A and B are shown apart, each in its own frame.
Chain A
Amino acid sequence: MTPTYYLLLSALLFSIGAVGVLVRRNAIVVFMCIELMLNSVNLTLVTFARINGALDGQVIAFFVMVVAAAEVVVGLAIIMSIFRTRRTASVDDANLLKY
């Protein structure tokens, strides 16, 4: 076994996340799929840091985590404000930017 298996696992996880974004209609579940894709990219970064023998990949994965946390906060606030006006969390119903 080589560390390449980690890359294969992360490719599969990324594909599953992409399928979830395309298939699911609930905005919160779509958001969770985006989180899964970010996590799989983090696994790729950690694996390449190990393959290359440098810590830069881990630092970049750390930054990805920070950006993902900020993105989750703002995205969930947007979902909540849309839910407050439209009473729905489905991505199909939010077809207007106002009202």
Chain B
Amino acid sequence: MSVLAQAADTVSTGEAVVFWILGPVALLGALGMVFARNAVHSALMLVLTMLSLGALYMVQQAPFLGFVQIIVYTGAVMMLFLFVLMLVGRDSSDSVVEVLRGQRLTGLLLGLALAVLLVAAVGRTLVNVSSVGLAGGNAGSGANVSGLGALVFTKYLFAFELTSALLITAALGAMVLAYSQSRAHDKRGQRATVTARLRGEHDRISPLPGPGVFATGNSVAVPALLPDGSVAPESVSAIIDSTPVEAFDAPHPGVSQSDAHALTGGRKALPAADPSAETEDAR
């Protein structure tokens, strides 16, 4: 990098302001995520942290990564998290019972030790490092996307193709793992049902005749007629058969009993004030 580029990369006042606002916001979001009781609150706090990190990427001359962070992480990944959270049930919060005694305290102390170690090491070794910066070179913020694209498709082409294989494998794995096969009630297929019918495992081979077929009325109480004109008793539900119905009046003169039209006329309506019939119906 040239001397000009080195001179160009200084942290401007605006960037410092953005950092001192968004850095504490990101830290607060992370702390809130760890210490929130409700898992949904944890997810929303993580969204806050990721949004501020995306803005920090944009400030740090990585606009493409900033937008990818917002679109992929806070848009897709966190929505996936919330989706699974709603599926699993947000009431499944943490149990207070500690399986290993003192694990929380030990974890907190070890995390604090890690933080002190990292901050001390980074602060002591890198505090006087001079930043070259990306703005002066050909990889500036104006050419960020094209520079990234050139690198991905030349120097990192093999890794890029490996990621495509990884994504396909992950999609297949998710489908295999999330597929729920219910073995509890195994449904019999169409072919097996036909075979069972022909073997005589059912009462009759064909389905029951529907009411009103070939008859002159379409009420469920009108029985179907067989091709020879006689009444098919199976076509009417047993409930209708058992309800008390007043008998037919005398048939019209000149119409024989086996005639189809004899079934429509002369039938009286059910008496509405008959409580016994109604209770039987309700049963």
Binding site for B on A (CB under 8 A): 1-9, 11-20, 22-26, 28-29, 31-33, 35-36, 39, 42-43, 46-47, 49-56, 58-59, 61-63, 65-74, 76-81, 83-84, 88-90, 92
Contacts and interface: CB of A to CB of B under 8 A. Distances in A.
Contact of A16 (B31, B119, B129, B174): B31
Interface of B: 1, 5, 9, 11, 15-16, 19, 23, 26-27, 30-31, 33-34, 39, 42-43, 46, 49-50, 53, 56-57, 60-62, 64-65, 68-69, 72-73, 76-77, 80-81, 84-85, 87-89, 92-95, 97, 99, 103-104, 106-108, 110-112, 114-115, 118-119, 122-123, 126-127, 129, 131-134, 137, 139, 144, 147-148, 151-152, 155-156, 159-160, 163, 166-167, 169-171, 173-174, 177-178, 180
Contacts of B80: 72-73, 76
Given A6-B60, A8-B122, A18-B111, A26 B93 contact: yes
B126 A7 contact: yes
Given A15-B115, A62-B65, A80-B88, A32 B33 contact: yes
B163 A13 contact: no
B131 A11 contact: no
Contact of A4 (B34, B61, B129, B159): B129
Given A16-B30, A80-B87, A90-B95, A63 B119 contact: no
Nearest to A54: B139
A35 B126 contact: no
A20 to B, nearest CB: 4
A53 B5 contact: yes
Contact of B68 (A2, A6, A62): A62
B111 A77 contact: no
A62 B173 CA distance: 22
Contacts of B147: 55
Contacts of A83: 87-88
Given A20-B34, A65-B68, A73-B174, A36 B132 contact: no
Contacts of A59: 148, 151-152, 155-156
A50 B134 contact: yes
A69 B76 CA distance: 9
Contacts of B23: 5, 9
22 contacts: A2-B129, A7-B122, A9-B23, A13-B27, A16-B34, A26-B39, A26-B94, A28-B85, A29-B39, A33-B33, A39-B69, A59-B148, A65-B68, A68-B77, A70-B166, A72-B80, A72-B81, A76-B174, A77-B174, A80-B87, A80-B88, A80-B178
